[in-house]
């Protein structure tokens, strides 16, 4: 590990509901190095978003609870930090952006009012200085006519512009880690590409590490250095993007790669992995992917594979002997 800024160790996050205990995140280990872009990929229901909410201390509790494991930010254990401490970390050190910016922006305040407020919560600054900083941030994220935009309301902006505003807001306190939860899913393809480009540019210019949460391995291929593949609350494969794309080892990762649309052959039928992610909490013996796996063997239905390997880790009995 070079310089980990964020470390997650054997994290288990469960939901306690009337229907019983649901292990949404079931013992995961990963880290993010300073300044890198790490992808966390998987279909919905795999535990990606619960992982990010656990890291940010934003888990709805109850019903969610971190039942074991550690989250370390810059070497400091923040797993069960008090809300005041977490609030300080969020915004100053770590920030998060979500899929639909409209849910995070307040429709009754102008963009400028919201940016100024975000800046002044975390930094001692006059209103005038915060207003100048807001314009600077809007320019940083590539928004045109920034000095007029600060007087406009969220509904006057397009989806792509609103996501840029959210990125500006997240970057307002120079965070060391930015968690982006499906930041481009609600946008159309050309805008998606622009937002991803912007995130790579900001990562290069500011050194902010990014945890990119997505269901789309195509997004990972475009922007990430390493990737963690999650399935049913567990990590099933992890490694450098180039290794995972050239030699995917887990049948689930292989299926996700095959599902990436081929832009050069639009007539080609899209591949999709048969079946669905098991409902969180459903009891499956052995490998959780076995009901969907075309390589499943008898032992896969009784034995839970371990995550093995070092720089390229995989959880599959096909690779048990390596
Ligand atoms: Fe498929 Fe078996 Fe590997 Fe699970 S352990 S992914 S069922 S081959």
pLDDT per position as a tens digit, 296-316: 999 999 999 999 999 999 999
Q: pTM for the complete prediction?
A: 0.91
18 confidence band (pLDDT: 50, 70, 90):
confident
The encoded tokens of residue 95 equal: 């920030």
| 203-236 residues labelled b (16+ CB within 10 A) or e (exposed) | beeeebbbbbbbbbbebbbbbbbbbbbbbbbbbb
Strands 64-73 and 76-77: antiparallel
Which of 52, 25, 9, 48 lies closest to 178 in space, CA to CA? 52
pLDDT class for 249, splitting at 50, 70, 90? very high
Q: Nearest CA to 23 among 33, 11, 31?
A: 11
pLDDT at 272: 85
Residues 6+ apart with CB under 8 A from 321: none
CB atoms inside a 10 Å sphere around CB 169: 25
- pLDDT on residue 197: 92
Task: Identify the pLDDT of residue 123.
Answer: 80
Runs of H (alpha helix) within the chain: 48-56, 83-92, 101-104, 111-122, 127-140, 146-149, 159-171, 189-206, 217-223, 241-246, 251-258
CA nearest ligand 1 atom 3, residue: 316
| Residue 268 near residue 280, CB atoms below 8 Å | no
79 three-state secondary structure: coil
How far apart CA 15 and CA 53 sit, in angstroms, is 13
Peptide bond into 180 cis (omega under 30): no
Q: Say whether pLDDT at 265 is over 80.
A: no
Pairing relation of β-strands 37-41 and 226-231? parallel
Q: Categorize the per-residue pLDDT at 1 as very low, low, confident or very high, splitting at 50, 70 and 90.
A: low
Q: What percent of the chain has pLDDT over 70?
A: 96
Q: Assess whether pLDDT exceeds 90 at residue 189.
A: no
- Categorize the per-residue pLDDT at 87 as very low, low, confident or very high, splitting at 50, 70 and 90: confident
Yes or no: say if 138 and 165 are a contact pair by the CB < 8 Å rule. yes
Output the pLDDT for position 266. 66
How many angstroms is it from 12 CA to the middle of ligand 1? 22
Mean pLDDT of 70-81: 94
CB 230 within 8 A of CB 59: no
How far is residue 86's CA from residue 1's CA, in Å, rounded to a whole number?
25
Return the pLDDT at 52. Answer: 93
Q: For residue 93, how far is its CA from the centre of ligand 1 (angstroms)?
A: 39
Q: Determine the atom of ligand 1 nearest the C-alpha atom of 297.
A: 2
Binding-site residues, ligand 1, Cβ < 6 A: 250-251, 287, 289-290, 293, 295-297, 300, 305, 316-318
Look up residue 84 and give its two tokens.
């005041």
pLDDT confidence of 180, banded at 50, 70, 90? very high
Q: Which sequence spans correspond to the domains of the chain?
A: 4-83+209-315
pLDDT higher at 45 or 295: 295
| Per-residue pLDDT reduced to its tens digit, 206-237 | 999 999 999 999 999 999 999 999 999 999 99
Query: In the prediction, which pLDDT does 212 show?
Result: 96
* CATH number assigned to the domain covering 4-83+209-315: 3.40.50.300
Which CB contacts under 8 angstroms, 24+ apart, belong to 141-150? 141/165, 141/167, 141/168, 141/171, 141/198, 141/202, 142/194, 142/198, 143/168, 149/111, 149/112, 150/110, 150/111, 150/112, 150/115
* Per-residue confidence (pLDDT) for residue 91, from 0 to 100: 73
d(CA 40, CA 62): 25
Q: What is the mean pLDDT of the chain?
A: 90
Alpha carbon nearest to ligand 1 atom 7, residue: 290
Q: Which of 317, 319, 320, 321 to mutate to test the pocket of ligand 1 (most atoms within 8 A of CB)?
A: 317
What is the Å distance from ligand 1's center to 300 Cα? 6
Main-chain dihedrals φ then ψ at residue 95, nearest 5 degrees: -135, 165
Q: What is the rounded CA–CA span in Å between residue 116 and residue 111?
A: 9
Ligand 1 pocket test, candidate residues 296, 299, 301, 304, most atoms within 8 A of CB: 296
**In this predicted structure, what is the pLDDT of residue 321?**
54
DSSP secondary structure, 116-157, as one string:
HHHHHHHS---HHHHHHHHHHHHHHTT-SSHHHHTTS-GGGS
Does residue 322 surpass a pLDDT of 60? no
pLDDT digits over 99-152, tens only? Answer: 876 777 899 999 999 999 988 887 888 999 999 999 999 998 989 999 999 999
Q: How high is the pLDDT of residue 51?
A: 95
């Amino acid at each position: 590990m070079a310089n980990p800024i964020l470390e997650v160790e054997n994290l288990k996050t469960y939901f306690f509901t009337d229907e019983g205990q649901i292990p949404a995140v079931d013992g995961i280990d990963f880290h993010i190095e300073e300044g890198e872009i790490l992808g966390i990929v998987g279909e919905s229901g795999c535990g990606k978003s619960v992982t990010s909410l656990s890291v940010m201390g934003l888990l709805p509790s109850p019903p969610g609870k971190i039942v074991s494991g550690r989250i370390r930010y810059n070497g400091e254990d923040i797993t069960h930090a008090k809300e005041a401490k977490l609030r300080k970390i969020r915004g100053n050190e770590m920030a998060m952006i979500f899929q639909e910016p409209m849910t995070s922006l307040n429709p009754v305040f102008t963009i400028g009012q919201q940016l100024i407020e975000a800046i002044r919560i975390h930094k001692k600054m006059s209103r005038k200085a915060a207003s100048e900083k807001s314009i600077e941030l809007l320019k940083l994220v590539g928004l045109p006519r920034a000095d007029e935009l600060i007087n406009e309301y969220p509904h006057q902006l397009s989806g792509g512009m609103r996501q840029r505003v959210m990125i500006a807001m997240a970057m307002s306190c120079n965070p060391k880690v930015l968690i982006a939860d499906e930041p481009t899913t609600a946008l159309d393809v050309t805008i998606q590409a622009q937002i991803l480009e912007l995130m790579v540019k900001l990562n290069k210019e500011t050194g902010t590490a990014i945890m990119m949460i997505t269901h789309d391995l195509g997004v990972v291929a475009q922007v990430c250095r390493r990737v963690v593949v999650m399935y049913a609350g567990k990590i099933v494969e992890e490694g450098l993007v180039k290794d995972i794309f050239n030699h995917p080892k887990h049948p689930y990762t292989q299926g996700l790669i095959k599902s990436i649309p081929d832009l050069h052959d639009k007539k080609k039928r899209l591949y999709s992995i048969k079946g669905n992610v098991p409902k969180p909490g459903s009891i499956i013996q052995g490998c959780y992917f076995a009901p969907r796996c075309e390589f499943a063997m008898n032992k896969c239905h009784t034995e839970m594979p371990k995550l093995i390997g070092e720089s390229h880790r995989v959880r599959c009995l096909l690779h048990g002997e390596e």
